């Protein structure tokens, strides 16, 4: 197959596949792409965290190869997560799409991709850093001169619009919605700029507005607030932004021709939260964690006085990450290696019995790290991941809560729940009219893009090429249809 002249990847962080299919008649451009290519739900990572998810998209490998599952991580057997992720950590450990393609002479631009600070130095290419950039005073572009081009295009470049640290009474709702739209338009404008003005072969832009809009509206309608916006008003406001992004996608489509491959996708979906699960409180209740002194307010793990010499397990971060305190591994480990699987069995079974304050089962899923992650840095990762299957309960490491489960999400480190499935659609050059496809994973994106652009897929990539699989499925459906018609006598 002849390589695509260009490839465009637009990430709509937090885009919910259920809502895309529900509103597809209004989302005319996404609907048009769906009708001409392949589309469906795409499985995210465990946990479905934006930092590791987009890194998996870039490298086509599971998180054990780059070694982080959240925005902080450990690369030794220390307690807690002492280090913050960065693009340098990822680029030292795995080869990303922009690195692979640039070595083959392709010009690549990435815009606002999570974990792209500092901005990666892409040979013959461009990068604009993400919301992780501390401020516009820092270098947030590569090359540095690109910053001046962005200033000319925008009166004020918006790194992020975040409402997670604001209380309901402090949010200028209409002003925030307008700012989210302005931020997203800047990302789409940059996408067109790199396609036309810089003649890039691949442009990858991650647009955060759906994520931020969902979080804002989730905050306004959460159970922890005294005032509520009714569901219909919430859904109308969210659909408006879906349509806003769809219109901007249409503008990008007007910029490209039939020799271009187009991918629109999300890394996971977002849901309104029901409440918060304090995992360390649960571990204390079940006897796996022992405190020397109990805090009188909600306190992070590493600021709590824990008796590590009698503690078997602890949780860290917001992704349901549980570590065992293993003898000979952690500094004060007590879990014997021979009891490792037994303790994990106990924890997995007990999480399935978790209930909320009203006694309702929480539908928790437990994943062992060894079952889902591999690679050089997997050994430093969590031993167990605890995940709310519908994504409506957040996990917290804070210690000092009166209960294990709380409907109050004001202390949660997130203001929306993460669903395990995102959405994808591919269309254009090299993409078959395969219709809806099941079984896609974020790990499939990198090998698919490489194949669309005429490159070979490195053997270390774990994902599959979706466009080839789509062709096979389409041919199989055609074969079965011919067989049915032949049996009915319509074919000679």
Q: 28: closest CA among 243, 265, 266?
A: 243
Between CA 118 and CA 464 the distance in angstroms is: 30
Between CA 121 and CA 142 the distance in angstroms is: 6
Between CA 430 and CA 453 the distance in angstroms is: 9
Q: 353: closest CA among 274, 273, 277?
A: 277
Question: Can you give the pLDDT of all 492 residues of the chain as single tens digits?
Answer: 689 999 999 999 999 999 999 999 999 999 999 999 999 999 999 989 999 999 999 999 999 999 999 999 999 999 999 999 999 999 999 999 999 999 999 999 999 999 999 999 999 999 999 999 999 999 999 999 999 999 999 989 999 986 445 444 466 788 889 999 999 999 999 999 999 999 999 999 999 999 999 888 877 665 444 444 456 777 888 999 999 999 999 999 998 999 999 999 999 998 878 888 999 999 999 999 999 999 999 999 999 999 999 999 999 988 899 999 999 999 999 999 999 999 999 999 999 888 887 888 888 999 999 999 999 999 999 999 998 877 888 899 999 999 999 887 665 556 778 899 999 999 999 999 999 999 999 999 999 999 999 999 999 999 999 999 744 444 554 455 456 555 555 454
CB half-sphere exposure, 88, CA atoms < 13 A: 3
Question: For position 217, what pLDDT does the model report?
Answer: 82
Question: For position 411, what pLDDT does the model report?
Answer: 58
Question: For position 470, what pLDDT does the model report?
Answer: 47
What domains does the chain contain, in order, with CATH numbers?
6-272+419-470 (3.40.720.10), 275-413 (no CATH)
Between CA 61 and CA 58 the distance in angstroms is: 8
Q: 357: closest CA among 271, 273, 277?
A: 277
Phi, psi of 49 (to 5 degrees): -100, 140
Question: For position 406, what pLDDT does the model report?
Answer: 87
Q: DSSP state, 119? A: P
Q: What's the per-residue H, E or C state across the chain? A: CCCCCEEEEEEECECCHHHHHHCCCCCHHHHHHHHHCEEEEEECCCCCCHHHHHHHHHHCCCHHHCCCCCCEECCCCCCCCCEECCHHHHHHHCCCHHHHHHHCCCCEEEECCCCCCCCCCCCCCEEECCCCCCCCCCCCEECCCHHHHHHHHCCCCCCCCCCCCCCHHHCCHHHHHHHHHHHHHHHHHHHHHHHHCCCCCEEEEEECHHHHHHHHHHHHHCCCCCCCCCHHHHHHHHHHHHHHHHHHHHHHHCCCCCCEEEEEECCCEEECCCEEEEHHHHHHHCCCCCEEECCCCCECHHHCEECCCCCCEEEECCCCEEEECECCCCCCCCECHHHHHHHHHHHHHHHCCCECCCCCECCEEEEEHHHHCCCCCHHHCCCEEEEECCCCEEEECCECCCCCEECCCCCCCCCCEEECEEEEEEEECCCCCCEECCCEEHHHHHHHHHHHCCCCCCCCCCCCCHHHHHHHHHHHHHHHHHHHHHHCCCCC
CB within 8 A of 382, min separation 6: which ones? 69, 316, 321, 322, 323, 369
Between CA 260 and CA 254 the distance in angstroms is: 11
Q: 128: closest CA among 208, 25, 14?
A: 208
Question: For position 363, what pLDDT does the model report?
Answer: 84
């Amino acid at each position: 197959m002849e390589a695509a002249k260009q490839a465009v990847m637009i990430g709509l962080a937090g885009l919910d596949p259920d809502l895309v299919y529900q509103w597809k008649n209004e989302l005319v451009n996404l609907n048009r792409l769906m009708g001409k290519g392949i589309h469906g739900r795409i499985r995210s990572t465990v946990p479905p965290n934006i930092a590791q998810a987009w890194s998996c998209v870039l490298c086509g490998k599971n998180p054990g190869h780059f070694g982080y599952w959240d925005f902080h991580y450990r690369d030794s057997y220390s307690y807690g997560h002492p280090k913050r992720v960065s693009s340098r950590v990822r680029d030292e450990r795995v080869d990303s799409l922009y690195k692979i393609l640039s070595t083959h002479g392709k010009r690549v631009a990435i815009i606002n991709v999570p974990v792209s600070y500092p901005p990666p130095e892409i040979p013959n290419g461009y990068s604009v850093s993400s919301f992780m950039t501390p401020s516009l005073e820092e270098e947030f572009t590569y090359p540095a001169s690109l910053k001046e081009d962005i200033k000319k295009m925008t009166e004020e470049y918006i790194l992020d619009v975040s409402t997670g640290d604001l209380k309901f009474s402090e949010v200028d709702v209409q002003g925030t919605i307008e700012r989210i739209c302005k931020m997203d338009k800047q990302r789409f404008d940059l996408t067109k700029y790199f396609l036309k003005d810089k003649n890039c072969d691949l442009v990858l832009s991650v647009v955060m507005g759906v994520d931020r809009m969902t979080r804002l509206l989730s905050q306004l309608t959460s159970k922890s607030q005294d005032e509520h916006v009714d569901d219909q008003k919430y859904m109308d406001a969210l659909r408006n932004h879906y349509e806003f992004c769809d219109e901007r996608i249409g503008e990008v489509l007007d910029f490209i021709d039939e020799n271009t491959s187009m991918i629109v996708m999300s890394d996971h979906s977002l849901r309104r939260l029901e409440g918060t699960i304090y995992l360390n409180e649960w571990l204390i209740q079940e006897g796996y964690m022992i405190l020397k002194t109990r805090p009188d307010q909600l306190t992070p793990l590493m600021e709590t006085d824990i008796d590590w010499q009698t503690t078997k397990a602890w949780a860290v971060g917001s992704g349901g990450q549980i570590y065992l305190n293993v003898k000979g591994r952690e500094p004060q480990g007590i879990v014997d290696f021979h009891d490792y699987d037994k303790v994990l069995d106990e924890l997995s079974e007990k999480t399935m019995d978790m209930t909320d304050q009203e006694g309702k089962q929480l539908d928790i899923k437990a994943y062992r790290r060894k079952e889902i992650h591999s690679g050089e840095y997997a050994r430093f990762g969590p031993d167990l991941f605890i995940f709310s299957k519908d994504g409506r309960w957040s996990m917290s490491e804070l210690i000092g809560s009166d209960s294990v489960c709380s409907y109050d999400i004001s202390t949660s480190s997130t203001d929306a729940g993460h669903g395990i499935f995102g959405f994808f659609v591919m269309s254009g050059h090299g993409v078959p009219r395969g219709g809806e496809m099941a079984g896609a994973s974020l790990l499939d994106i990198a090998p698919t893009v490489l194949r669309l652009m005429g490159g070979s897929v490195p053997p270390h990539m774990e994902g599959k090429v979706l466009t080839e699989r789509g062709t096979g499925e389409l041919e199989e459906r055609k074969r079965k249809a011919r067989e049915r018609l032949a049996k009915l006598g319509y074919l000679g």
